[in-house]
Structure 1
Amino acid sequence: MSPLSTSELDPIDILAVDEELGETERDIRDTVRSFARSELAPHIAEWFEAGTMPKDLTKRLGALGLLGMHLEGYGCAGASATAYGVACRELEAVDSGLRSFVSTQGSLAMYALHRWGSEEQKQQWLPAMAAGEAIGCFGLTEPDAGSDPSAMRTRARRHGDDWVLDGSKMWITNSPVADVAVVWAQTDPEQGAKGIRGFVVPTSTPGFTVNQITRKLSLRASATGELVLESVRLPADAVLPGAKGLSGPLACLSEARFGIIWGAVGAARDCYETALAYAGQREQFGRPIAGFQLIQQKLSEMAVQVAQASLLASRLGRLKDAGRLDPTHISVGKLANVRAALDVARSARTILGGNGITLEYPVFRHMVNLETVLTYEGTEEMHMLSIGKAVTGVQAFR
Structure 2
Amino acid sequence: MEFRLTDTQRELQEAARKFARAELPDLARELEEKAIPVPDEMRRRYGEMGFLGVNLPEQYGGLGLGHFEALLVLEQFAMISVAVAFPVFESATGPVRTVEHFASDSLKARILPEVIKGEKIVAVSMSEPSAGTALTDLKTSARYDGDDIVLSGQKRWCSGGGHSDYYIVYCRFDGEPGAKGIGAVLVGKERAGMSFGRPEQLMGFRGIPSADIFLDDVRVPKDNIIVPKGGFAQLMTAFSLERCGNATMGLGIAAAALEEATAYAQERHQFGKPIVDFQAIQMKLAEMAMKVEASRLLIYRAAVNASQGLPSILDSSLAKCFSNEMVIEVASKGLQIMGGYGYSKEYRMEQRVRDSYAWGIAGGTTDVQKTNITSALVGRRFNQRA
TM class by shorter chain equals over 0.9
Q: How does 1:1-398 map to 2 (within 5 A)?
A: 20-53=4-37, 54-72=39-57, 73-189=59-175, 195-240=181-226, 244-321=230-307, 325-394=311-380, 395=382, 397-398=384-385
* Mapped partners of 1:194, 1:392: distance in 2: 25
* Mapped partners of 2:269, 2:229: distance in 1: 59
* Mapped partners of 1:370, 1:295: distance in 2: 21
- Per-residue deviation, residues 315-354 of structure 1 (Å, max 9, x unmatched): 2222122758311111100001221121110001001001
Given that 1:101 and 1:222 are in contact with CA atoms closer than 8 Å, whether structure 2 keeps it comes out as no
Given that 2:28 and 2:83 are in contact with CA atoms closer than 8 Å, whether structure 1 keeps it comes out as no
One-letter amino acid matched to 1:48: E
Given that 2:24 and 2:80 are in contact with CA atoms closer than 8 Å, whether structure 1 keeps it comes out as yes
**Runs (5+) with no aligned partner, structure 1:** 1-16
* Mapped partners of 2:196, 2:66: distance in 1: 34
- Per-residue deviation, residues 260-314 of structure 1 (Å, max 9, x unmatched): 2223222111101111111111111111111111111111111111221222222
Cα deviation for residue 241 of structure 1 reads 5.4
Higher mean displacement: 292-301 or 385-394: 385-394
Q: Do the aligned partners of residues 325 and 179 (structure 1) sit closer, same or farther apart at CA in structure 2, a change above 3 Å counting?
A: closer
* Mapped partners of 1:222, 1:201: distance in 2: 20
**Runs (5+) with no aligned partner, structure 2:** none
Q: What secondary structure is seen at the aligned counterpart in 2 of 1:199?
A: strand
Given that 1:183 and 1:200 are in contact with CA atoms closer than 8 Å, whether structure 2 keeps it comes out as yes
One-letter amino acid matched to 2:250: A
Q: What secondary structure is seen at the aligned counterpart in 2 of 1:175?
A: coil
One-letter amino acid matched to 1:61: Y
Given that 1:96 and 1:370 are in contact with CA atoms closer than 8 Å, whether structure 2 keeps it comes out as no
Q: What secondary structure is seen at the aligned counterpart in 1 of 2:119?
A: coil
Given that 2:40 and 2:119 are in contact with CA atoms closer than 8 Å, whether structure 1 keeps it comes out as no
- Per-residue deviation, residues 231-257 of structure 1 (Å, max 9, x unmatched): 101222222256742123212222211
- Per-residue deviation, residues 128-173 of structure 1 (Å, max 9, x unmatched): 1110111111111212211121111100012233211001111111
* Mapped partners of 2:304, 2:111: distance in 1: 30
TM-score by length of 1: 0.90
* Mapped partners of 2:117, 2:361: distance in 1: 30
Over the matched positions of the two proteins, sequence identity in percent amounts to 28
One-letter amino acid matched to 1:169: K
Given that 1:115 and 1:242 are in contact with CA atoms closer than 8 Å, whether structure 2 keeps it comes out as no
* Mapped partners of 1:212, 1:31: distance in 2: 37
TM-score by length of 2: 0.93
Q: What secondary structure is seen at the aligned counterpart in 1 of 2:26?
A: coil
Q: What secondary structure is seen at the aligned counterpart in 2 of 1:147?
A: coil
Cα deviation for residue 185 of structure 1 reads 0.5
Return the structure number with greater relative CO, CA threshold 8 A, min gap 6.
1
Given that 1:36 and 1:90 are in contact with CA atoms closer than 8 Å, whether structure 2 keeps it comes out as yes
Alpha carbon RMSD of aligned pairs, Å? 2.1
Higher mean displacement: 318-327 or 206-215: 318-327
Given that 1:137 and 1:175 are in contact with CA atoms closer than 8 Å, whether structure 2 keeps it comes out as yes
Cα deviation for residue 396 of structure 1 reads 5.6
* Mapped partners of 1:159, 1:153: distance in 2: 19
